[in-house]
């Protein structure tokens, strides 16, 4: 039976390599649509959790995961030899940057070493990990061609960028359009056919290079526009203008403007990282991606600017930052999730500690973090008594479950980086993008 028919009758076995924020929800979506799914990860603890029906991703339904594990529709393993019986392999491994902001594709290379052992005819391989344009054709294809199988005829290879937005209740895997670009037209067709079995809209495009660039454009667009409003926020502080008022007013224009808001910096595994893949690739072609690099510089410096705002606020009370007790509110990189990857809150905390401030945090979504080689535990509850202990309270992530009225009433000084206290006219609030305290 050919692969398309196996997809149609749900007899195709799906392998998802990498069971993090991208891989696990994708595996569950395929399993929930009738496929038998094998999740592959080198992390034994993660595999044990999966096989026990224990959820570790906030966007995944605990009950749904347990149901699928009990029904044997999804299984986890660290053994890559399972690939011998897999029909479609979806690669969702991390693609971080190293310290010099060069792409680290070592996880993809490790997967390739295993795939070469077990690739077989009638197999689809789809890379979902964000990477630089050319990775699928220049890195993956030559390795798989060593099998003597012909791409587009014996096996199928494509790139289909993940579009996961943690915490987004409206757009999930099913209703977020999926882009697919294959090495050949047949590769694209087979990839499209597979993803159409779980996703409402699949958008085929001409090549994996185009698909790889689509993902980078999406997040570069966001990075640059966030960098723009962050710089405008700093300019508004100097002008004595409220940046939040300016942005809201500009957003009333029904065309030609898209609303972005400033903040303490970029977080997550995409926006702070993905543009640098494109910038790196362009350097290999002797071209400088100036917008990307400038936006990266502005966004990277925002945690330092937040510390400057804290110092400004403390100065009002004639307090030095050295020895001051600072409470960070929210360390997840965005509201209402438990993800701290690349969170600017961590940078703010490090900068404050390097200035000898005494730093604690409260985030009900993140009760503890790995910190300085050990573990840092957050406050378990906010009370008027606990808030009164701090010289400054710094809001970095505007979780909905914060008691904002309590925070305003009980805090001595608030640094608001998210405009969460809008409408509160209080001289003890220092706002990013609006210089109230002189």
Catalytically active residues are: 270
Q: What length is written for the chain?
A: 438
Which residues make Cβ contacts (< 8 Å) with residue 396, sequence separation at least 6? 264, 306, 328, 329, 330, 331, 344, 345, 348, 417, 418
Q: Which of 348, 347, 330 minimizes the C-alpha distance to 339?
A: 330
CA distance 12 to 286: 44
Q: CB–CB of 195/174 below 8 Å?
A: no
Give the burial class of 345: count Cβ atoms within 10 A of its Cβ; 0-12 exposed, 13-18 middle, 19 or more buried. buried
E strand or H helix at 219: helix 208-239
Q: CB–CB of 404/388 below 8 Å?
A: no
Q: CB–CB of 330/397 below 8 Å?
A: yes
E strand or H helix at 392: strand 392-395
How large is the C-alpha radius of gyration of the chain?
A: 24
């Amino acid at each position: 039976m050919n692969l398309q028919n196996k997809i149609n009758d749900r007899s195709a076995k799906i392998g998802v390599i990498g069971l993090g924020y991208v891989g696990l929800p994708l595996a569950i979506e395929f399993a929930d649509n009738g496929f038998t799914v094998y999740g592959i990860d080198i992390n034994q603890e993660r595999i044990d959790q999966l096989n026990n029906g224990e959820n570790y991703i906030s966007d995944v339904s605990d009950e749904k995961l347990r149901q699928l594990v009990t029904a044997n529709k999804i299984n986890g393993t660290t053994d890559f030899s399972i690939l011998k019986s897999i029909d479609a392999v979806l690669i969702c491994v991390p693609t971080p940057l190293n310290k010099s902001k060069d792409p680290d594709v070592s996880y993809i290379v490790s997967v390739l070493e295993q795939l070469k052992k077990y690739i077989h005819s009638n197999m689809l391989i789809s890379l979902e990990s964000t990477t630089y344009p050319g990775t699928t054709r220049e890195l993956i294809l030559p390795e798989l061609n060593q099998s003597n199988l012909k791409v587009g005829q014996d096996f199928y290879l494509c790139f289909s960028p993940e579009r996961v937005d943690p915490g987004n209740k409206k757009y999930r895997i099913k209703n977020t359009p999926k882009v697919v670009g294959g090495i050949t037209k047949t590769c694209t067709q087979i990839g499209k056919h597979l993803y159409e079995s779980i996703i409402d809209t699949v958008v085929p495009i001409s090549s994996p290079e185009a698909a790889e660039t689509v993902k980078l454009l999406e997040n570069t667009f966001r990075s640059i526009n966030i960098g723009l409003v962050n710089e405008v926020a700093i300019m508004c502080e100097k002008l004595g203008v409220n940046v939040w008022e300016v942005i809201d007013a500009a957003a009333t224009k029904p065309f030609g403007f898209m609303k972005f808001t400033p903040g303490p910096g970029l977080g997550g595994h995409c926006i702070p990282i993905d543009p640098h893949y494109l910038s790196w690739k362009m350097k290999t072609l002797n071209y400088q991606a100036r917008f990307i690099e400038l936006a990266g510089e502005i966004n990277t410096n925002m945690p330092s600017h937040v510390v400057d705002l804290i110092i400004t606020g403390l100065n009002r009370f004639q307090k030095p930052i050295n020895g001051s007790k600072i409470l960070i509110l929210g360390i997840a990189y965005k509201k209402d999730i438990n993800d701290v990857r690349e969170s600017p809150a961590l940078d703010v905390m490090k900068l404050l500690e390097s200035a000898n401030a005494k730093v604690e945090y409260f985030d009900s979504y993140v009760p503890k973090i790995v910190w300085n080689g050990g573990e840092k535990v957050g406050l378990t509850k906010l009370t008027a008594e606990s808030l009164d202990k701090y010289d400054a309270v710094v809001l970095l992530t505007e979780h909905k479950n914060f008691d904002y009225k309590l925070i305003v009433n009980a805090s001595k000084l608030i640094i608001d980086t998210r405009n969460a206290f809008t409408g509160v006219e209080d001289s003890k609030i220092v706002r990013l993008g609006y210089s109230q305290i002189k």
